[in-house]
């Protein structure tokens, strides 16, 4: 009897899977008699592309200029689809992941119901879609700085503290993999110089040719910047390497964010009420940028169809125009965009409030209740 009780106590009842394992691990969950949940780290809208659209398609054809995806209120242009979806083998793999997600008992998504109501309702309308639990925003606001980076952090924060005007600085940062070749760096520098806007630029060194690894740090940034650039911009700008992104976004001096549109960066910017200029580069970032600019209306577009692997560069004029629009644009649409960002800041902070009546707390309670259901009772 004791052995039986111990087996019952030790039996796994719930299994939370990374979404990349959604297909391969579902059989294991069944074998263990566990209820399988998938944790999905991107937007609910992109979850819909993955699990509502792709399982119905054998391939995505170049002849279609836009795609009707149930979780997006507007059709997605083909140029805003992730570039890897042009490969039929990748489409097959992603479709399989989408089908795996649909087999789960529930999908835990890092978003807030108040941020993505349209996308979440599209899944609720699908009679065969698992329950969706929007538990976000889940953010690491403490950051992850190393001791070796403390001097760089102090220099950055001292420079920001010295800015007298609130929301006067544009922040450029492109994620863990974000780096550019010399030609693109020159265009960014010239665009920032010509804009006249104060800026903080996280400039990283590309990995050595042929290697897949995170960007490194320049020993001296002037080795890649245009001659005389640092002298000409003086105290108007600060060029650095690694940055404490969330701490910077929280600073009163930051008024805009030029971003690669990774979902974590988007959520962080919205948490601190910072509007974005979208410059996506790889993976699902093109779709995120389209969603942010055209769907949620929380950003301006800088270069929506840019790819790190392409040979073309974004020109100084394009960068200048986007930075000026983001920071100083006075037309009606930009003014409304900034107002929406301020509203979203309030909305998602309320969603993640410590009060037990917050939507995040209620969703977590529903998830835990579902996990505790004894199916054999």
What pLDDT does 1 receive?
43
Q: Which residue has the tokens 């760096």?
A: 185
Report the predicted TM-score, pTM, of the whole model to 2 decimal places. Answer: 0.92
- Is pLDDT of 134 > 80? yes
- How far apart (Å, rounded) are the C-alpha atoms in residues 236 and 247? 20
pLDDT digits (tens, 9 = 90+) for 332-371: 999 999 999 999 999 999 999 878 889 999 999 999 999 9
Q: What percent of the chain has pLDDT over 90?
A: 66
**In the 8-state DSSP scheme, what is residue 196?**
-
- Is pLDDT of 192 > 90? yes
pLDDT digits (tens, 9 = 90+) for 81-106: 888 888 888 888 999 999 999 999 99
Helices (H), the chain: 2-10, 26-32, 44-48, 88-102, 117-125, 150-161, 182-195, 229-233, 245-249, 263-271, 285-290, 316-328, 332-351, 359-372
Q: How many residues does the chain have?
A: 377
The alpha carbon dihedral of 99, 100, 102, 107 has a sign of negative
What pLDDT does 58 receive?
64
Question: Burial letters for 178-216: b for 16+ Cβ neighbours within 10 Å, e otherwise?
Answer: bbbeeebbbbbbbbbbebebbbbbbbbbbeeeeeeeebe
- How far apart (Å, rounded) are the C-alpha atoms in residues 180 and 6? 57
What pLDDT does 7 receive?
47
CATH class assigned to 12-138+354-372: alpha beta
CATH level 3 topology of 150-327: Rossmann fold (3.40.50)
pLDDT digits (tens, 9 = 90+) for 301-323: 999 888 766 668 999 999 999 99
Segment among 7-11, 13-17, 106-110, 298-302 with least mean pLDDT: 7-11
Confidence of residue 150 (pLDDT cuts 50, 70, 90): low
| Distance from chain centroid for Cα 5 | 45
Domain residue spans in the chain? 12-138+354-372, 150-327
Query: Which of 273, 241, 275 shows the shortest CA–CA distance to 261?
Result: 275
Residues near 294 by Cβ (< 8 Å), separated by ≥ 6?
74
DSSP string, 61-115: -TT-SEE--TT-SSPEEGGGS-GGGGSHHHHHHHHHHHHHHHTSSEEEESS-TTT
Half-sphere exposure of 77 (CA within 13 A, CB side): 12
Whether the Cβ atoms of residue 47 and residue 119 lie closer than 8 Å to each other:
yes
- Mean pLDDT score of the chain: 89
**In the 8-state DSSP scheme, what is residue 42?**
S
């Amino acid at each position: 009897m004791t052995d039986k009780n111990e087996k019952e106590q030790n039996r796994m009842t719930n299994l939370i899977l990374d979404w990349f394992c959604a297909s391969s691990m579902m059989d294991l969950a069944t074998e263990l008699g566990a209820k399988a949940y998938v944790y999905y780290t991107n937007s609910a809208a992109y979850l819909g592309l993955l699990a509502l659209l792709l399982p119905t398609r054998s391939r995505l054809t170049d002849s279609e200029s836009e795609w009707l995806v149930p979780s997006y209120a507007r059709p997605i242009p083909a140029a805003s689809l992730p570039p890897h979806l042009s490969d039929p083998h990748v489409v097959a793999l992603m479709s399989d992941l989408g089908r795996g997600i649909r087999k789960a008992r529930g999908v835990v998504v890092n978003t807030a119901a108040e941020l993505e109501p349209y996308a979440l309702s599209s899944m609720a309308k699908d009679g065969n879609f698992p329950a969706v639990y929007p538990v976000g925003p889940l953010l690491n606001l403490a950051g992850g700085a190393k001791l070796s980076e403390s001097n760089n952090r102090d220099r950055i924060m001292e420079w920001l503290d010295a800015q007298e005007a609130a929301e006067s600085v544009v922040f450029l940062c492109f994620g863990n993999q974000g780096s550019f070749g010399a030609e693109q760096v020159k265009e960014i520098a010239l665009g920032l110089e010509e804009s006249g806007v104060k800026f903080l630029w996280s400039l990283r060194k590309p990995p050595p040719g042929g290697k897949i690894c995170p960007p490194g740090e320049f020993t001296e940034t002037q080795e890649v910047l245009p001659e005389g650039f640092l002298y000409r911009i003086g105290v108007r700008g600060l060029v650095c390497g690694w940055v404490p992104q969330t701490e910077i976004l929280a600073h009163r001096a930051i008024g805009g964010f030029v971003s690669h549109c990774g979902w974590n960066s988007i959520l962080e910017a919205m948490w601190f009420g910072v509007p974005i200029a979208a410059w996506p580069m790889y993976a699902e970032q093109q779709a995120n940028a389209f969603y942010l600019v055209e769907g949620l209306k929380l950003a301006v577009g800088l270069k929506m169809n840019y790819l790190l692997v392409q040979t073309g560069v974004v020109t100084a004029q394009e960068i200048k125009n986007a930075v000026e629009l983001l920071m100083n644009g006075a037309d009606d649409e930009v003014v409304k965009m900034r107002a929406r960002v301020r509203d979203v800041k309030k909305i998602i902070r309320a969603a993640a409030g410590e009060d037990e009546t917050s939507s995040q707390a209620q969703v977590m309670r529903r998830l835990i209740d579902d996990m505790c259901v004894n199916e054999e009772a």
